A and B are shown apart, each in its own frame.
Chain A
Amino acid sequence: MLVYLKIYRYNPEAGRNVPSFDTYNIEAEPTDRVLDLLEEIKGHIDGTVSFRRSCAHGVCGSDAMRINGRNMLACKALVKDVGTEITIEPILGLPVLKDMIVDMEPFFNSYKSLMPFLINEDVPADGKERLQSPEQRERFDDTTKCILCAACTTSCPVFWSDDQYVGPATIVNAHRFIFDSRDQAANKRLEILADHGGAFRCRTAFNCTEACPREIHVTQAIAEVKNAITSGGVEH
């Protein structure tokens, strides 16, 4: 089938300092990924079209972009699902550097600000694993799936307008530790998230949940964090 693509272009270095769209018509299969189409264009038509990608099957998080106005991974969006008229733009709310490539530094800096690592220096005397029941493990399973693609954060209307807000992905990763029975710093994390740039900035728009390519219940995770703050902590 013939697919009509409209691709966002921006590259001040090459004189394209006003964003505009280039259009391409290419032959595709319904099962082709949008990433396959971008590769086809880059390889055969215009090598200057720029985007990040690596694993090509939805686990590395490199290729989050706006496809027909919605945040998706280009490698998980199939032609049969997005249609034969496809508009591709960079994710919103992070500075665009070139075409679909955005500056990820603000995103990762926010992620790092919530101590995204287990805090617990006690290990069993026999050197073996700490015990954790399947139910305790299940409690935070959903948020361990995050691949830091930024699809959620850059779909959030609060994030677009408020540069103080840490954004959904940061809260998801805080949730992963707050509800891990092995972690000893839940209160510290909750304290940070109770602050003005934290969880209460969320206005439950649910964009993040819809955008997540890993199907994490992002809004719910944020709500659980809010509840933990208001109820004064978590019990494992």
Chain B
Amino acid sequence: MTQTHQHEVIIVGAGGAGLMAALYASRGADTAVLSKLYPTRSHTGAAQGGIGAALGNLEPDKVEWHSFDTVKGSDYLGDQDAIDYMCAQAPEVVYELEHMGLPFSRTDDGKIAQRRFGGHTNNDTKQPVLRSCYAADRTGHMILQTLYQNCIKNKVHFYDEFHVLDLLMNDGVANGVVAVELATGELHVFHAKSVVFATGGHGRIWELTSNAYAYTGDGVAITLRRGLPAQDLEFFQFHPTGILKLGILITEGVRGEGGVLINGKGERFMERYAPTVKDLASRDVVSRSIYLEIRDGNGIKGDRYVHLDMRPEVVNHYAELDGRTLPDGTPYRVTGEQLLSKVPDIVDFCRTYLGIDPIKEPMPIQPTAHYAMGGIPTNVHGQALSDAQGTIVPGLFAAGEVACVSVHGANRLGTNSLLDLVVFGKEAGKMAAEYAKSADYKPLEANPTDFTRQQLDRILGKSGGEKVVTLGEEMKTKMMDDVGVFRTAEGMASAIEKMRELRERYKNVSVDDHGKRFNTDLLNAWELGCLLDVALATAVSAHARPESRGAHAREDFPKRNDAEWLKHTLAWMDGDQVRLEYKPVTITKYEPKERVY
């Protein structure tokens, strides 16, 4: 029996963006949050190193520098009006998080502590700047907990373990969602005036990933199926330092605190690729450098990994060579104890999963799929857009990793994802409530759950068909090999064919569990369908871009081509066909120039 609920604002997803949106939307409208996980399980909680804001708590910093660094980091594909807005909002939202209770680490004089991070610089000296506001190496955990705590304080209405499977539209206007209640297997219709998608990313497309099992691209897949476009999917970030074979993230904060990357010859190879900021270059640059070292046989023991070294003697050695000083001008030197207090969780991960102590031994690392720069196109108010002209989809909003504003362009800087989800979660929440106050409930269609039921029944109606894991493994391997850090026309073409084949085979997928209660078998299968859709759209978007920009690195087109390709991709999906259009990048004051670190 399908139940129908009505709330003015429905927020889908309870990570940082969803919870921030909920806090703001609930001030002005009847709001409910739907999440397939308990809110505190959301992947925001895995973010480690910090949230970027030019507070200047330890040394001079400026919002304008943060903006420029973000534009440069984006390889000039980020929209500069949106970047300016985000960086200008950054100090205010960081203070707001502190006011909500977030337990930031502190400077000696009691202010919010800040550390170095990749691509964040003093624009005058070109040297790394202390901009990342952190709480040890569990900043995301603290943001998630703090926002959830404030939602409890403000009595926000949650539907926990309700997995949204469809977006409802009436004549081009969003008017609700369909969700399955995990505990009962029943479908529920949520009739709304505003729907905010804050569903996170899709890093589970790739074999080696830092992303949670839950990161299955639900939001992008659902909107693609409803005829809306996805923007810039070809730009997906590979974080340089994932734990060997597992992909678990080792924060860039390790390098911010002085850790260095070392190859099999014992060389600090980033000196060759980024002479000025070295190990703190942008993530795309560092990931490519690691791949090139491995390709040249310079991996550790010739194998497919390098070392991240944060032993205090190594940190101090290179800090001395670099002439690194503390803000008071004294030489930068660290002890093992200090490092442990700065990145305790990293030390724990290494001990648990590698059986090594990173204070005494270097960490074996390789690049790991990490973050979707692309997603549902939105403007700076979080309003979803339906075309290259910027037409707004009434009632639909998106924020956080699922959205593409675009503030990250072709490559995101570390610490800007937490900033993005707080700034734009807040804006989307405010706007969703404001819109709800001026709009009426658009009537629901006669059988709003039909499309969802079709999808589930197709899976449940089969037995002895294709296995979810088999298709998933084939997808991940192919995407890692051919739509990964380096790409070629030939490889991507074969990936497109492979994704089409897998989507065809997916029609015959079957599951063992045919029950209703907590049917995670069925929902894993449904999620695989999302991943395959997003993977195909990603491969097609990537194949069509014959240049190298940010995270999209073509071996056959190694140069950036601003004359023809300084533009965003929009992808629509129709069956197994993906249609592409392009829209201009907003340039305000930073003219594109060559990107060197």
Contact = CB atoms under 8 A, between A and B. Distances in A.
Interface in A38-63: 42-44, 46-48, 50-62
Nearest to A42: B521
A145 B138 contact: yes
B54 interface: no
Contacts of A235: none
Given A112-B152, A118-B100, A118-B149, A54 B518 contact: no
A76 to B, nearest CB: 6
A148 B40 contact: yes
Contact of A57 (B46, B111, B214, B513): B46
B304 interface: no
Nearest to A35: B213
Interface size of B as a range: 35 or more
Interface stretch (B102-110, B219-227, B229-237, B319-327): B102-110
B103 A144 contact: yes
B579 interface: no
Contact of A98 (B40, B41, B349, B518): B518
Contact of A55 (B45, B98, B105, B111): B45
B400 to A, nearest CB: 16
Interface stretch (A17-25, A121-129, A194-202, A225-233): A121-129
Contacts, number: 152
Interface in A126-161: 127-134, 136-137, 140-141, 144-145, 147-148
Given A131-B111, A147-B45, A14 B149 contact: no
Nearest to A129: B98
B110 A132 contact: yes
A60 B212 CA distance: 9
Interface string B337-381: 000000001001100110100000000000000000000000000
A47 B518 CA distance: 12
B110 A48 contact: no
B108 to A, nearest CB: 7
A97 interface: yes
Contacts of A104: 38
Contacts of B112: 129
Q: Point out which of B45, B150, B511, B516 has the most chain A C-beta atoms below 10 A from its C-beta.
A: B45
Query: Is the contact region of chain A dominated by helix, strand, or loop, or is it mixed?
Result: loop
A112 B45 CA distance: 19
Nearest to A112: B152
A60 B109 CA distance: 32
A94 B439 CA distance: 43
Interface string B142-157: 1001000110110000
A182 interface: yes
Contacts of A141: 103, 136
A118 to B, nearest CB: 3
Contact of B152 (A48, A78, A116): A116
A61 to B, nearest CB: 6
B562 interface: no
29 contacts: A13-B515, A14-B515, A42-B521, A47-B513, A48-B513, A50-B513, A50-B520, A51-B520, A54-B41, A55-B213, A56-B212, A57-B349, A59-B45, A59-B141, A60-B46, A61-B41, A62-B37, A62-B38, A117-B153, A118-B101, A128-B95, A129-B99, A132-B106, A132-B110, A133-B108, A134-B106, A137-B103, A144-B103, A145-B138
Interface of A: 11, 13-14, 31, 42-44, 46-48, 50-62, 76, 78, 97-98, 101, 104, 108, 112, 115-118, 120, 123, 127-134, 136-137, 140-141, 144-145, 147-148, 176-177, 180, 182-183, 215
